[in-house]
């Protein structure tokens, strides 16, 4: 079946990644993504979210459950389809790519018959065998390096970090090998690796298990970064990342795994370079991603009741930014608020602020404002944990200040 391309706009500059010419390298299964569509196909979020059985929904989970994204195009979620939780959508996308391409393999701690720490790889070992779904020792540096080496020989590994914080132990492999080998080899090798796993501030998981590593990895040359926020884009981004010739880090938020949404039965992929227009508006552009999408949409309800019309964009592509979509919005609203769960110092918001100021300064009627997490280790206590993360009330206040 033909693939549906999610998103729209003109091509975002990707020159820093120097994509590989598949005619020059005869590695197996070179699959190029089709050209970018010229219209949006946006999947909104199902208002009814499931958070598992027997678990008390946290404050953050209630915010996610109550946030209803406005759909600008329902073609992706109407008609035939099936409901999946976000972790099931990731699993389905991974399984489809393993069916399509025998060079796709999975490796990580407990990814085999246990099914992964959040069951994203459930059932894959039974279907594809232990050689393609490889349980590894508890040594992130070793199995990440093994995956990079496998990619150099023509395989397409999907490496799971049991928790994204653990991947700090593999930072040398990700930085010096994963991101650089295509360049340092003069283009002789490509590294079609996907590195993925749960991260973000969960529910009383403590400082080490609540890390946001976007800011750590954004400075590494040669690596793309994307963040999923709905079952629809989780599956589509997973499939696109596996097909990419560039190394891709896919960020999954631990609190979003049990989101439920209807996704199409037909095959589709999401463009790795494009943002998603979640809610069109006129007064202010709010840029966000991952879990904060739902805090923003909760705030948007209050803002609409107060007479404001915010435009909400899920940037999805953390590196490179989709400056085409972002720029068109800035030119329309002339005000920008960035909302992120990343740390304020050196975070994604800081880089995005710089990019907007450099490219669209003349269109701004007010300085770009960025709401980020507190620059402190995430506390274990629930009330303190929530204090460190941006809440909807803060978003409402910030919009009111910017629109004065």
Domains recognised in the chain with CATH numbers:
4-56+71-270 (3.40.50.970), 276-402 (3.40.50.920)
140 three-state secondary structure: helix
Q: Token pair of 350, please? A: 């800081």
Q: Which helix (H) or strand (E) holds 199?
A: strand 194-199
Q: What are phi and psi of 372, to 5 degrees?
A: -135, 175
Angle between helices 292-305 and 392-402 (to 10 degrees): 60
Cα atoms in the Cβ-side hemisphere of radius 13 Å centred on 292: 32
* Burial (CB count <10 Å: 0-12, 13-18, 19+), residue 137: exposed
Which residue's entry shows tokens 């349980």?
A: 135
DSSP at 256: G
Out of 6, 103, 182, 209, the active site residue is 209
Instruction: Please count the other Cβ atoms lying within 10 Å of the Cβ belonging to residue 21.
Output: 10
- State the Cα angle at 238 between 159 and 256, rounded to 5°: 90
Q: Token pair of 205, please? A: 């998981």
From first to last of its 404 residues, what are the pLDDT tens digits of the chain?
Answer: 334 333 333 233 323 333 333 333 233 333 333 333 322 222 333 323 332 323 334 445 555 555 433 333 333 445 689 999 999 999 999 999 999 999 999 999 999 999 998 999 999 999 999 999 999 999 999 999 999 999 999 999 999 999 988 999 999 999 999 999 999 999 999 999 999 999 988 888 877 778 888 989 999 999 999 999 999 999 999 999 999 999 999 999 999 999 999 999 999 999 999 999 999 999 999 999 999 999 999 999 999 999 999 999 999 999 999 999 999 999 999 999 999 999 889 899 999 999 999 999 999 999 999 999 988 888 888 888 888 899 999 999 999 999 98
d(CA 337, CA 303): 13
Q: Token pair of 154, please? A: 């023509």
CA-only gyration radius of the chain, Å: 20
The answer to whether 140 is a known catalytic residue is yes
Alpha carbon 216 to chain centroid distance?
A: 15
N-terminal to C-terminal alpha carbon distance within the chain: 50
The answer to whether 209 is a known catalytic residue is yes
Out of 92, 97, 109, 140, the active site residue is 140
DSSP at 177: I
């Amino acid at each position: 079946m033909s693939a549906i391309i999610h998103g729209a706009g003109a091509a975002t500059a990707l020159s820093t990644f120097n994509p590989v010419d598949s005619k020059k390298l005869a590695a197996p299964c070179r699959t190029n993504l089709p050209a970018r569509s010229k219209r949006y196909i946006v999947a909104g979020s199902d208002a009814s979210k499931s958070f598992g059985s027997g678990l008390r929904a946290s404050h953050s989970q209630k915010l996610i459950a109550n946030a209803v994204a406005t759909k600008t195009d329902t073609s992706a979620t109407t008609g035939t389809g099936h409901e999946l939780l976000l972790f099931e959508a990731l699993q389905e996308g991974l399984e489809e790519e393993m069916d399509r391409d025998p060079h796709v393999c999975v490796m990580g701690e407990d990814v085999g018959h246990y099914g992964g720490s959040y069951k994203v790889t459930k059932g894959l070992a039974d279907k594809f065998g232990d050689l393609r779904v490889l349980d590894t020792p508890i040594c992130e540096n070793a199995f990440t390096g093994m995956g990079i080496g496998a990619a150099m020989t023509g395989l397409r590994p999907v490496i799971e970090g049991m928790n994204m914080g653990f991947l700090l132990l593999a930072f040398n492999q990700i930085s010096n090998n994963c991101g650089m080998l295509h360049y340092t080899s003069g283009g002789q090798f490509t590294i079609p690796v996907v590195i993925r796993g749960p991260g973000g501030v969960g529910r009383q998981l403590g400082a080490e298990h609540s890390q946001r590593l976007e800011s750590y990895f954004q400075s590494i040359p040669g690596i793309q970064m994307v963040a999923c926020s709905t079952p629809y884009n989780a599956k589509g981004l997973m499939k696109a990342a596996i097909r990419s010739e560039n190394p891709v880090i896919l960020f999954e938020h631990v609190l979003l795994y049990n989101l439920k949404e209807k996704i199409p039965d037909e095959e589709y992929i999401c463009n790795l370079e494009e943002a998603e227009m979640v809610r069109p508006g006129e007064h202010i552009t709010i840029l966000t991603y991952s879990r904060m999408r739902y805090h923003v949409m909760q705030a948007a309800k209050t803002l609409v009741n107060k007479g404001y019309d915010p435009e909400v964009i899920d940037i999805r592509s953390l590196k490179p930014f989709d400056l085409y979509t972002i720029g068109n919005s800035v030119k329309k609203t002339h005000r920008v608020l960035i909302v992120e769960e990343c740390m304020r110092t050196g975070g994604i918001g800081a880089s995005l602020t710089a990019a907007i100021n450099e490219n669209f300064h003349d269109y701004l009627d007010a300085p770009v404002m960025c709401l980020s997490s507190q620059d402190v280790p995430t506390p274990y206590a629930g009330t303190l944990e929530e204090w460190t993360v941006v809440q909807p009330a803060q978003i409402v206040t910030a919009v009111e200040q910017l629109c004065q």
